[in-house]
Structure 1
Amino acid sequence: MQEPETASDTQEPETASDTKDLRVAKIVVTGSRIQNPGYQAPTPVTAVGAQELLTTTPSTVADALRQLPSLTGQSALGGRSYCCAAGTASAGAYLELRQLGPNRTLVLLNSNRLAPSISSGVVDANVLPELLLQRVDVVTGGASAAYGSDAVAGVVNYITDTEFEGLRANLQYGISGYSDDEQIKAGIAGGTSVLDGRGHIIFSLEHYEAAGIPSLLDRPQSAQMWVLAGAGTLASPYYDVADTRFYTGTTGGLIVSSNGLPFNFGSAPLAGTQFLPGGAYGPTNLGTILPPGAPNAVGGDGYSPSGAMQPLGETETNRLYGRFGYDFSPTLHGYVQLTGALNSAQNQYGWPAFSGNSGTLLEMFSGNPFMPAGLQSTMTTNGYTSFFMTRSNREGGASYNTTDTTYYDISGGLSGELVGDWTWDAYLGYGETKQEGAEHNAVNVARLLAAADAVDNGSGSTVCRVTLTSPGSIYDGCVPINLFGFGAPSQAALDYITGTNENSTTSAQQVLALNFQGTLFELPAGPVSVATGVEWRNRELSGTSNLVATSQIDPATIRGRSMNVTLCPTPTACRYGGWIQGNVGEQEQVSDTVQELYFETIAPITTNLELNGALRYTDYSNSGEVSTWKVGVSYEPISDIRFRASRSRDIRAPNLFELFASPSTGFAAFTVNPFTGNQIPTIPTITAGNPDLQPEIGDTSTVGAVFRPSFLPGLSASIDYYNIELTDGIVTARTVPRVLTDCNNGDATACAQIVGDPSVDNITSVSLLQTNASVQNRSGVDFDVSYTRPVGNADVTFRLLAGYIDEADSVSGGVTTELVGLSVPGMPEWRGLLSATYDQGPFSLTVQERYIGSMLKVSPAGGGVFRDPTVPEIFYTNLSAAYAFEAQGGNMQLYATVNNLFDQEPPLMPTTLSGVGYPTIPGLYDLNGRYFTVGIRAEW
């Protein structure tokens, strides 16, 4: 493991050469616009070399960064989505500082902004080059005054080797101890001087793919179908139960009501009847029903989606990076740069289920020719005209999401000298992302209702009723479907009711910046340096969708009801179209512009006391004007120790999606209506953008010290306290339960979000808008210690990165939620990463220990009493060995890594729904188990 490379915390940067070659003299000080040799910013910076990152986590740099205590969030691992959500698979690795969300961490490439990778405005770290990466700087403090919006929690800056000479290649293969999630990584990079040494060109081509974990059944823990049961009270605490399933449905179909009263299992003679293969039917065994509310049971004939759910999805990334720099003269340098990537992701999330969980029940009518004769006789005898049934549509295959992303960012710049030590640089960039999402084997609700309502046409043929009552309608091609028993539906009928739910989003960004830097005047202790500049950005967003209508279906066309069926007063209130899940609307083209002016200065008060200040004025075309600032101080009483402190005002402006997102639909499952006390299986939700959003405000304070004792060469240590107060946070201020509760308590604004009459359980939909209503607080301490010393003819290096969270809470809707030390959102007080490397000539060995502290369990809804309230601490051990040798005229290195050496299973933390997702916190803990990687690196 190499020494961390940084221009701020651990070593002095190289000074410029006497030739004033701007290309060679480039200094990178992350966190400041002033790039002076010897300057050390007062804001904490954690710097990690590329080799150090990839030694023990060879999959991707993003995966390695997520091991750092400050970056351990729950964003998608390596660009792969976790089980199990409809819509689109996550196709990116989004870095998240302080668990404040990826959109509050700014990701840069060589200190410049990149075009966002998705509509939420963040950058996918998987598009950034790895083979030419020198180091990654992580600024763990606000930096909006230096870089603008989004740097509330901090900055992650990828620094590439723009002067690389030679050829570099890498090839590796990995596989889990369960013989799945195979990973292949390959790449080649090169660099050379051209045009008599005045130009320099570098490039890299890289490929990475991961096969994922096929299903929840492929891990012992998730295969046991754990669920969280109990009421969370002292009388009935929460507890974990295995071997569970949904008792409200079966594979072949289950009648859950008699004569239109849903979920009324006790009403004989129909309710509780299940349909079996070959037209048979009989009573169902519900198993041992677990309280409270959620449709879980131990044993019985219910169904589990586990076999069709991937705990870790598939991904593939192909990226290109190239840069050409040219010295027009000794004092004028220019460059052009291209960053591009083609990413794809896939995740399977279960069989389509008409179960109430997904917003769909099926109303079946008397007279259906597919209905077993005995059951039809019972309906006729009892005067029943219809019943509701649930069903798992396993015959049609599992539903799965795919996302294909095309990304490119082209930039160019010039830099030159003015008078004295004044320099200037200009930067122009354009980037675009097109993300195409699809939900495959999705069920079209309106077509399902049309096909399920089968009748005899009077000539002995079974047809869809709608083709007789509404000829010439959009349902003329309807194929009647037999849903009574597993294997009953025809392929033609399955093809009719299913399709691909597609959407495409295109986002673009243009950037133009002009910067100046130099000495303003001299003080007795040294020059007062300043940096100033202007920046202009334009953002655009548009999208397409093949969304089918989610409005209420005309009852004159289709009579079957589909959703929100509990005590539905009229059939029309329960009749909706659309896809079962993942209804994303058409996105009209929207845009905004940003104009910025900034100023930063460094003033040496004495030879060992330095002040830093920065101010940025920003004008958003949609969100108005805002100012950000930073003040900092650095004090070095002796050469062994340096104290630093900073205070900053930072912002995150609402992105275009938050401002102007077109309406999309979803569902809230199993919601207790406070008006009646009844539990409603599904409530449709409608979300959309809010053009009245204002920028979020973050106030950040840091205080710390860097210790490099002269009496112990090789030791470097830092400790920093941070405090972040985020106000006006953009959040969906109310959940569906909260909207209903507030309305019941007389809140008129909450009642305005409800369509229907909640006093009689007739809730057609609930509107969920984002507002500036959140307050977030974070405070804690970061530790960074590294020590290198010779032992015999070898070098031994230790590095410890640790983080302690003292305070973390969220305030929304007037409710304060404590977060630190709790399993929701998965925020232990302590995290740590300790590495030790033994390097002797051609052989090196690295052992890394990752620590995640214990937590107290809380239910997904928050709070609750548990029989076993503690999530245990866990240690993950990674082991890596490498052997270097010369061959084919180059330097080679064979390497092997074992991650999770002792095959630690993650702590058990199931949800309240059986078989839905891995029973832990996937973004925090390892799902793969022991994982092996071997590879070879080469450089000429």
Structure 2
Amino acid sequence: MQLALRRHLLASTVLIGTSMLGTAAYAQTQTAEAAPADEGTIVVTGSLITNPNLERSTPVNVTTSEEVELRQTNVAEQLLREIPGVVPSVGSAVNNGNGGASYVDLRGLGSFRNIVLLDGNRIAPSGLVGRVDLNNIPLALIERTEVLTGGASTTYGADAVSGVVNFITKQNFSGLEMQASEQITQRGDGNVFRVDTTIGANFDDGRGNAVFSIGYQEADPVYQGSRPFSRFNIDSFTGGASGSGTTVPSRFTGTRPIDPATGLPSVNPATANGGVRQLDPTTGRAVPTFQLFNFNPYNIFQTPFQRYNIFGQAKYEVTDGVEVYTRGLFSKNTVKTIIAPSGVFNSSVTINLNNPFLPAALRNQFCAFNTSTTAGVYTPRFDQATCNAAALATGPTDPRYRTVTTNLGRRTPEVGPRISDFRTTIFDYRLGVRGDITDSIRWDVNGSYGESENIQTLQGYVLTSRVRQALLVNGTAANPVCNDTSNGCVPLNVFGPLGTILPNQVPFITGESTTTIRTSLAQARAVVSGDFGASLPWANDAINFAVGGEYRHYTASQRSDILAKTAGELGGAGGAAPDITGGFDVYEAFGEVVAPIVQDKPFFQNVTLEGGVRYSHYTIDAPNRPKFNTTTWKVQGNWEIVDALKLRGGYSRAVRAPNISELFSPLNTGLTNLADDPCASLNNAGTRTRPAPTPGTNLYNICIAQGATAGNIASIQQPTAGQANVTTGGNLALKPEKSNSYTIGAVLQPSFIPGFSASVDYYHIKITGAITTPTPDDVINNCFGATPLTPPANAATTACTLIRRNPTTGGLDGDPATTGGLFAPLTNQGTLKTDGIDLTMNYNTDLGFGKLALSFAGNWTRSSQFRATPTSDNRECVGLFSVNCSSQSGSIQPEFSWTQRSTLTIENVDLSLLWRHISAVNYEGGVNALYSGPVTGTVVGETFNLGNHTFGHIPAFDYFDLASRIGVGDNLTLTLTVTNLFDKKPPLVGATAGSTSFNSGNTYPSTYDALGRTFKVGARLRF
């Protein structure tokens, strides 16, 4: 509390204190083309050739530092996710599935299919997948951000399949700049504080420049329980209260149901094995009425975040024509994800029948349970006399001692929430020398090295092995004793209501676990670029070129403690975190050429052709040193017909080499999302929703072949909380995926509309040999077919038998040590394709009393198709949401999206309105596949009524953000911003319509604003 108070006092001091100083503001807005960072020679994104006269042949979306200031964006991911054509990836709105980093996803092709650059150079990635953590980008020193669409592997090497994001820093910065900002939602939560200080200077008569920037940022969590629409977990298919089957009171398998007429365990053959049943603490019996656990209030819409970052760069002309330059980056980030309490998630446990906490009624049900039938005759596990005698046993050596094995599901709110603390530290250092060979030819040699370390500490997790030990108890309820007293065992009571697990029992059953991921990138590059000093006959400008070579060495490792490496040990942690070590080298040679063909001729103001090629040789750090080679190339051109009209286009072949995770990860069982298990006939509440598979049918045989039993097949439930187990892993035999992409467009600058410019570009990207895993529905349909009751396969097919079920419940969820679930290996059999149109427009005019600036950036995605294998569905996901459409991008890709900014400047005041549009989207399975109607329900005595909703349809959404920037005196600028001006609530789709990471809190919080109206205030002091 004192720390938070000091932080807010600091914010107030900075903001109020600087308001007593001053500067003049001026309006700039988003542009379609980048302004040079320096006067003179520049390198544009997508080319290695330096020439101030060159214009891009490919479309590049540019966001300036002015736009960042008006939005008061705190991290790069928040800025990029709102660019039309960018699909939200992991960021601050992702809680369950956030690994402590944030990423960008261009065109919905996956966050690992693009490259993030800093001043045109790679920086160290943050994890095994090889992605750059956007939390490390020093926004305070960024001049502009350029997003290039389409394959760029020829220029930047592998991975640039969907495009490039290039953050370009301010060059020749001189002076002192201090920035501070604070934001808070209308509801009084979601506070974010940020402060940055940058100092730079030119020295030695302008021969050198140095700049240094340091920053701090802190963000508070926003809990889903603090918003009415997300307080309760809602089923997307029923519209009623939902949640997790791992709940409290405990649930057990292997209990005979109660005959309501006698109150004794039933012997009715129709109720074989009883399925999964929940304990009624009042009667001590396991009953079919389920109370699901509402985990929403524990989850968060804004992850807590703390960052310290340092950035410095310098350059010095040591002699005429030779310059030394360097750059260093350091960042330390802490991201916390907070999810509902841990517990025992349907794991197998053994309970002794003389356990002093075990209710007599439940003991009788365990004894009456049977595992086999003969001609409909059910044999109990123990007869009543044996059961009664076992209750009186004094210990394991007593001849009357008996145990039963059951699957236990018990949430542990008494322990508190599960917290994953991700601490990421990165440094990246670059040193280079560049100079002139002639007046028109330059050379550049540079090298860099960077490392990233991510330490994940899990807290509040229940240890399954300790629970198993603590459930074998003798003695009395007042004086219980563990059978095995090692490790300081404390007996555990899971047979009562919330609160039965006492504070003194918690320390023994919980533990803290750590996993550390380290990555490194060493690289060296040499480039010679310039012009040949000669031009073609009909051109004036010389032919430009760039040639060079590059070397990169990647390493990555994951090291986990024994708790994290043991499958199922950490209750609710998903799969194990195995040790992984890998790396690879790549040697490359490349060349580019830009040739003006015709210039200054009627209807041929400028015709330019560009070409490039890159050869890459990879060596994998593995036994036998696997190797592969790739060749990428591009051909581009532009035709400036007249000053007002330019046509442009290009075609490129790009590749993406498999990353370290895809190559080296061992087979491991984790979690995926699955809406419907064909073998399940009960929902999570234990209600029968369709007939159980019957003996002799194809469906019955398949379910049995996958690990279900004759005893549990009639009582299989849908995966709890829509999460099923999945087994997947890396593959050293993977090869690079290939991409063919092309763009064609036009740039307009009509003289009859002064101040107006526009560009329109069509893009088409197709990836073949894509490294993918099948979607959950692909795995299911390959075995069961689209209609589960008439599957095309038989029980012996590999597609069916690779699916492995829980041996106790027959379901696809449970202990990963015993339940493999779906099998989804990585292969090179995938195909992805997307195409669409980007449109940008800008208009600036002087109104006399002020200046007006209008900008528009829009995207129409015509198609976005994904096919994991040749036998999988060729899935179209534009304007659709579902678990399957989440498999690549995770979030929603609308058909139309745009941002439009209008800025009016009167003297030293800017008033700016940003309009963000997202077109309507529907559920992939059809609007009527999800619930439509009144959303009401009751959870643990609390009733909710959220009105009428159609979960299968999300209408078009429009958000408006209002910003005002005021110049105070000569040195100070104040910016006031209100985002989501009209406090528009997010759409409701329930909690089981998409993937857990992005369909959270009954909505899609990375796409739609879940926080509501937010106020931001910032100050920039410049000397």
Normalising by structure 1, we get a TM-score of: 0.85
- 2:163 aligned with 1:145, yes or no? no
2:669 equivalent among 655, 665, 679? 665
1:547 corresponds in structure 2 to 562
The match for 1:831 among 897, 907, 923 is: 897
1:527 match: secondary structure? coil
Residues 2, 426 of structure 1: CA spacing in aligned structure 2 closer, same or farther, 3 A cutoff?
Answer: farther
Partner of 1:51: helix, strand, or coil? Answer: helix
Q: Which residue in 1 is equivalent to 2:196?
A: 187
Q: Is the 8 A contact 2:177 2:1020 kept in 1?
A: yes
Note if 1:899 corresponds to 2:910.
Answer: no
Q: Deviations 1:230-260 (Å, cap 9, x if unpaired)?
A: 5xxxxxxxxx33x4455x4652324554159
Match of 1:562 in 2: none
2:780 equivalent in structure 1: 737
> CA-to-partner distance for each residue in 1:526-574, whole Å, 9 max, x for gaps?
311111110000000112101338779xxxxxxxxxxxxxxxxxxxxxx
2:33 and 2:157 map into 1 onto residues whose CA distance is 26
Alpha-carbon distance between aligned partners in 2 of 1:901 and 1:726, rounded to the nearest angstrom = 40
Q: How does 1:419-818 map to 2 (within 5 A)?
A: 419-456=438-475, 462-466=480-484, 476-485=487-496, 486-520=498-532, 521-524=534-537, 525=539, 526-548=541-563, 577=569, 579-607=571-599, 608-622=606-620, 624-667=628-671, 671-673=677-679, 674=699, 675-676=702-703, 678=713, 679=716, 685-733=726-774, 735=776, 737=780, 741=784, 744-745=793-794, 750=799, 753=802, 764-765=819-820, 767-813=823-869, 814=871, 815-818=873-876
Distance 1:193 1:789 in 2: 35
| 2:972 aligned partner, one-letter code | M
Question: What is the count of residue pairs matched by the alignment?
Answer: 859
Q: Deviations along 1:311-361, whole A, 9 cap, x unmatched? A: 3321112111101111012201111110111011111110124354xxx36
**CA separation in 1, counterparts of 2:121 and 2:474?**
65
Please name the residue that 2:376 is paired with.
none
Q: Name the CA shift for 1:309/1:660 in 2 (closer, same or farther; >3 Å).
A: same
Tell me whether 815-824 or 334-343 shows the greater mean CA deviation: 815-824
Cα distance, 1:600–1:746 mapped onto 2, change above 3 Å: farther
Report the counterpart of residue 156 of structure 1 in structure 2: 165
Look up the match of 1:819: 877
**Larger displacement relative to structure 2 (441-450 or 253-262):** 253-262
Contact 1:53–1:65 at 8 Å: present in 2 too? no
Shift in CA distance, 883/580, structure 1 to aligned 2, threshold 3 Å = closer
1:284-323 to 2 correspondence within 5 Å?
Answer: 301-323=291-313
Equivalent-residue separation in structure 2 for 1:270 and 1:454 (angstroms): 25
**Distance (whole Å) between structure 2 residues aligned to residue 12 and residue 177 of structure 1:** 37
Q: 2:248 aligns with which of 248, 251, 254?
A: 251
1:367 is aligned to: 354
CA contact (8 A) 2:766 2:832 kept: yes
Q: Please state if 1:44 is matched with 2:59.
A: yes
Structure 1 residues 895, 921: CA separation in 2 closer, same or farther (over 3 Å shift)?
A: same
**Offset at residue 785 of structure 1 (A):** 0.3
Aligned to 2:21: none
What's the counterpart of residue 1006 of structure 2?
923
Whether 2:134 is the aligned partner of 1:115: answer: no
Q: Per-residue deviation at 1:464?
A: 2.9
Q: Secondary structure, in 3 states, of the residue corresponding to 2:646?
A: strand
Taking a change above 3 Å as real, the CA distance of residues 506 and 739 of structure 1, as seen in their structure-2 partners, is farther
State the 1:379 CA deviation.
Answer: 6.1
CA distance in 1, matches of 2:808, 2:972: 73
Aligned to 2:394: none
The Cα of 1:859 is off from its aligned counterpart by: 5.5
Mark the runs of 5 or more structure 2 residues left unpaired by the alignment: 1-25, 259-264, 368-382, 388-402, 600-605, 621-626, 680-698, 705-712, 786-791, 812-817, 886-891, 933-949
**d(CA) in 1 for partners of 2:922 and 2:725?**
33
Other structure's SS at 2:147 match: strand
Change (3 A) 1:128 1:734: closer
Change (3 A) 1:689 1:648: same
Separation (CA, whole Å) in 1 of partners of 2:657 and 2:556: 15
Equivalent residues of 1:2, 1:49 under 8 A apart: no
CA contact (8 A) 1:462 1:480 kept: yes
Residue 405 of structure 1 pairs with residue 424 of structure 2: yes
Give the 3 Å change call, closer, same or farther, for CA 438–750 of structure 1 in structure 2.
Answer: farther
- Match of 2:467, SS state, is helix
User: 1-side partners of 2:750 and 2:799: how far apart?
Assistant: 60
Aligned AA (1:371): L
Measured against aligned partners, the alpha-carbon deviations of 1:822-863 in whole angstroms (never above 9, x if no partner) come to: 123422110010100011111111001100000112369x99
Distance (whole Å) between structure 2 residues aligned to residue 938 and residue 685 of structure 1: 53
Matches of 2:276 and 2:207, distance apart in 1:
83
How high is the sequence identity, in percent, across the aligned residues?
A: 27
The CA RMSD over aligned residues, in Å, is: 3.3
> For the structure 1 residues 270 and 226, does the alpha-carbon distance in structure 2 shift closer, same or farther, using more than 3 Å as the test?
closer
Give the whole-Å Cα distance in 2 for the aligned partners of 1:374 and 1:761.
25
Report the secondary structure of 2:301's partner residue: coil
Contact kept, 8 Å, 1:260 with 1:388, in 2: the verdict is no
Aligned to 1:223: 231
Q: Pick closer, same or farther for the CA change 1:539–1:333 going to 2, 3 Å.
A: same
> Deviations for 1:48-82, whole angstroms, at most 9, x for unmatched residues?
211113302433343122211022x13123xx252
Residues 734 and 76 (structure 1), Cα distance of their counterparts in 2 relative to 1, 3 Å cut? closer
Residues 684 and 479 of structure 1: is their aligned pair in 2 closer, same or farther, counting only changes over 3 Å? farther
AA aligned to 1:315 is F
Distance 1:41 1:746 in 2: 57
**Closer/same/farther in 2, CA of residues 147 and 533 from structure 1, 3 Å limit:** same
| Structure 1 spans left out of the alignment, 5+ residues | 15-22, 231-239, 288-299, 468-474, 553-575
In the aligned structure 2, how far is the partner of 1:747 from the partner of 1:699? 39
Are 2:184 and 2:192, in contact at CA under 8 Å, matched by a contact in 1?
A: yes
Query: Structure 1 residue 772: deviation in Å?
Result: 1.2
Relative to structure 1, the CA distance from residue 82 to residue 363 in structure 2 (aligned partners, 3 Å threshold; closer, same or farther) is farther
Q: State the shift of 1:373 in Å.
A: 5.0
Amino acid at match of 2:144: R
How many Å separate the matches in 2 of 1:66 and 1:777?
21
| Structure 1 pair 820–713 and aligned structure 2 pair: CA distance change class (3 A) | same
State the Cα distance separating 1:437 from its structure 2 match. Answer: 1.0
Aligned to 1:135: 144
C-alpha contact (below 8 Å) 1:733/1:773 kept by paired residues: no
Q: Using the TM superposition, give the Cα deviation of residue 126 of structure 1 relative to its aligned residue in structure 2, in angstroms.
A: 1.9
For residues 257-272 of structure 1, what are the structure 2 equivalents within 5 Å? Answer: 257-258=254-255
- Letter of the structure 2 residue corresponding to residue 155 of structure 1: V
In the TM superposition, residue 372 of structure 1 has moved relative to its aligned partner by 3.3
Amino acid at match of 1:482: N
Aligned counterparts of 2:1021 and 2:564: Cα–Cα separation in 1: 56
Q: Distance in 1 between matches of 2:79 and 2:204?
A: 38
CA gap of 1:772–1:745, structure 2 versus 1, over 3 A, is: farther
